[in-house]
Structure 1
Amino acid sequence: MTKSIGILGCGWLGLPLAKKLIEKGYSVKGTTTSANKLDVLQKEGITPYQISLSEDGIQGNIGEFLSNIEILIINVPPKLRGKHTESFVEKMKFLVAEIKKSTVAYVIFVSSTAVYGNTEGEVSEDSPLEPATESGKQLVECEKILRNEESFKTTIIRFGGLIGPDRHPVTTLSGREHLSNGNHPINLIHLDDCIHMILTILEQSYWGEIFNGVYPHHPKKQVYYFEEAQKRGLPTPSYKTESSPKKGKIVLSKNFLDKNQSFTTPIIS
């Protein structure tokens, strides 16, 4: 098992992941787009690099970051909301060109269940990809680009909605009224399980695979967010009464569970 890993994007998931890898004896290089965060990474024992991807190329010493690592974890969001959107696909093409010149043999790409779009019913890793958002469409293209490369093996993880100590959808939904799709199921995963999945892939060498990362419990949104708001002492959200036959999607983490793996952190507070 290799002991040298690069994490492109040491943010909400990348930083605690890096800390856990260091705990397990890995040597970790990590990137941030912010000069202010270089010290934060260094203090955690991460070799820090300031690197940002853009449509025009890569700013920062990407060659040095990728040197002498065998595994790269790509954990950067598409950032396609708002006015200043850039093509995530173009950024990925620049990155792939650099990876091909490096020692990297294995890649984990953090994707999203947005690739399934508004599909109804149960979806697994084998389901057709029908992204409905620009972000989802570009993630599908990026997945293809990475998986088609023969100079390194890529494993894709499609995480559901992310929750953790300082992050939960209920904080933005709290007190809102007339919300829609209250009868749709939730597809969430806790930060600790995101890290657990990535560590399992590394330890078991699950390369060239696709995994959905969603905790296997799917209560209806209106029930779940009402209860989560109450537990936090927040104003509860309310949902419209809808007669739509649409029932939303349940994302199954079939591949992970089929390997006799399990999730460790419930989504119920």
Structure 2
Amino acid sequence: MKIGVLGCGWLGLPLTTHLKNEKNKVSGTTTQQEKLSLLENEGIKAFQIEITPKLIKGDIGSFLENLDALIIDFPPRIRSRSSDLFLEEMNLLINKLNQYKKIQKIIYISSTSVFKDTEGFKTYDEAYLFSDYERKDNPLLKAENLLLENLGKRLKVLRCGGLIGHDRHPVKYLSGRKDIANPDAPVNMTYQKDAILICQELINNFDKLENYVFHAVHPEEISRKEFYQKAAQDFSLEKLEFDHQKKQKGKRILSTHTLNQLNIEMK
């Protein structure tokens, strides 16, 4: 199968390597010229492409042509700029994808940030129906809906939680902190290896899957305090202290349907 990965970052790069090792012909994109050789050295056909609100820079036509499947994995960057710019980028991409109807398997890597934190630690699953209030000021959900409305059965959405792997752990940014919020809130982590496996199985089973939305959050039920304290010990980091005085907010994300549908067990 010919598979393209649009955005070879922390998740996208090892994903291309994994898909290639599974005997697929894989292409990948990066915004950085110096990263092209890194992709090519892994046996990936590399393209320098950048999606901006006004235009797509680079030869995206050559990247998309002849693909059987596409995985979209580029950051929305809505914390550092207007969310309208991100949605403009998605519209540009949708218009381009509609010129390549041969690509019938498209996976969009989204985020569990589409769900709001609540004081009661609300639980969300793949079938959750959003209220009008929850849809308001929710650019990530708007992006998902834009894609679903325009691409229809060609699309699956995969929501990831906090990304974690052997070279990336959020506790490293908390070392020595004495005011960590929401200690009792659930942790919703997505391990790199699990996200890669789920992407592969979504492609393999694409035509059999009736649902459009999937989750890649590890099922372990553990609080932020437990999770980060254990990690701080494992990495021999300075002791962490948590704020139990302020009202706490959080959420619990379930991936049960996804794991059952794909017959995957996260360890």
> What TM-score comes out, normalization by structure 1 length?
0.90
- SS of 2:66's equivalent? coil
- SS of 2:3's equivalent? strand
Shift of 1:207: 6.4
Q: Counterpart in 2 of 1:139?
A: 140
Q: Counterpart in 2 of 1:149?
A: 150
Q: Counterpart in 1 of 2:220?
A: 217
* Structure 2 letter corresponding to 1:257: L
Residues 226-235 or 119-128, more deviating: 119-128
Q: Counterpart in 1 of 2:113?
A: 114
Identity %: 33
**In the superposition, relative to structure 1, how do residues 172 and 8 fare at CA in structure 2: closer, same or farther (>3 Å)?**
same
Q: Counterpart in 2 of 1:166?
A: 167
Q: How many corresponding residue pairs?
A: 260
1:46 partnered with 2:49: no
* Displaced runs of 4 or more, over 6 A: none
1:179 partnered with 2:210: no
- Structure 2 Cα separation of the partners of residues 254 and 51 of structure 1: 35
Q: Counterpart in 2 of 1:195?
A: 196
- Structure 2 Cα separation of the partners of residues 187 and 148 of structure 1: 28
1:258 partnered with 2:257: no
Shift of 1:236: 2.3
- Structure 2 Cα separation of the partners of residues 101 and 82 of structure 1: 31
**Is residue 107–residue 152 contact of structure 1 (8 Å, CA) maintained in 2?**
no
- Structure 2 Cα separation of the partners of residues 106 and 256 of structure 1: 17
1:249 partnered with 2:254: no
- Structure 2 Cα separation of the partners of residues 259 and 179 of structure 1: 36
**In the superposition, relative to structure 1, how do residues 145 and 196 fare at CA in structure 2: closer, same or farther (>3 Å)?**
same
**In the superposition, relative to structure 1, how do residues 256 and 226 fare at CA in structure 2: closer, same or farther (>3 Å)?**
same
Higher relative contact order (CA 8 A, sep 6+): 2
- SS of 1:87's equivalent? helix
Instruction: Render the CA deviation track for 1:125-182: whole Å, top value 9, x for unaligned.
Output: 1223466996xx2211111111112576100001011100111110001111111101
Q: Counterpart in 2 of 1:7?
A: 5
- Structure 1 Cα separation of the partners of residues 245 and 181 of structure 2: 8
Shift of 1:255: 1.9
- Structure 2 Cα separation of the partners of residues 169 and 13 of structure 1: 15
1:227 to 227, 230, 251: 230
**In the superposition, relative to structure 1, how do residues 128 and 208 fare at CA in structure 2: closer, same or farther (>3 Å)?**
closer
- SS of 1:28's equivalent? strand
**In the superposition, relative to structure 1, how do residues 33 and 86 fare at CA in structure 2: closer, same or farther (>3 Å)?**
farther
**Is residue 16–residue 44 contact of structure 2 (8 Å, CA) maintained in 1?**
yes
- SS of 1:12's equivalent? coil
1:76 partnered with 2:74: yes
Shift of 1:250: 0.9
**Structure 1 unaligned blocks of 5 or more:** none
**In the superposition, relative to structure 1, how do residues 133 and 67 fare at CA in structure 2: closer, same or farther (>3 Å)?**
same
**Is residue 118–residue 131 contact of structure 1 (8 Å, CA) maintained in 2?**
no
**In the superposition, relative to structure 1, how do residues 161 and 27 fare at CA in structure 2: closer, same or farther (>3 Å)?**
same
